Amino acid sequence: MNRTRHEEFREYMADRGPALLRAASQLTSDRAEAEDLVQAALAKTYLAWDRINDRAAVDGYVRRAMVNTQISWWRRRKLEIYPTDELPDRPVDDHTRRSELHDVLTRALRRLPERQRLAVMLRYYEDMSETEIAKILGVSVGTVKSTVSRAMTRLRNDDTVG
């Protein structure tokens, strides 16, 4: 069955959209801007869809498009920001709390054994299924389930998280 370009791309977006949004959120630290970033990167990818011969490389293409687009937006905003002596009428969002939580989570993940850390990152950050993780790690699905379970138990019992 030959699927059309549009059907293939739509299927890719449905499958990988949540993972791409998480990656974009890491780049932007803002949900709305992350959604815009994913949309811009997917638009560029759609235009290049026929030139991407290796479908396994699509994620890399989209992520590179997100990084390049984010850099471009950052440069454009940098030119639009001017110092002023006046304070804004509304308070500015304080990202300190989010940054602190990110640091705590990063430290907790680093304390996990490598296999547990990798399994948790693939499962929850990359949104992969247990079957996909098993293939990547070269282990059984049951091993992936028990590894993730042990890691999550360890994270829940870690006094520095939460």
2-51 pLDDT, tens digit per residue, is 678 889 899 999 999 999 998 888 888 788 899 999 999 999 999 988 88
Q: Compute the C-alpha angle 137/152/149, nearest 5°.
A: 60
Please, what are the domains in the chain?
Answer: 5-80 (1.10.1740.10), 96-157 (1.10.10.10)
Token duo for residue 67: 């990084």
- For the ranges 38-42, 112-116, 122-126, 144-148, which has the lowest average pLDDT? 122-126
**pLDDT of res. 39:** 94
Phi and psi based region of residue 90 (left: phi greater than 0; alpha: psi -120 to 50; beta: remaining): beta
Interacting residues of 144 by C-beta distance below 8 A, sequence separation 6+: 119, 123, 130, 133, 134, 137
Whole-number Å distance between alpha carbons of 88 and 5: 48
Give first-to-last CA distance, the chain, whole Å: 49
Kindly indicate the confidence band of residue 55, based on its pLDDT and cuts at 50, 70 and 90: confident
pLDDT at 156 over 80: yes
Phi, psi of 120 (to 5 degrees): -65, -45
Stated pTM of the model = 0.49
> Is the pLDDT confidence value at 98 over 60?
yes
| pLDDT 10s digits, 125-139 | 888 889 988 988 889
- Residue in the block written with tokens 């500015």: 92
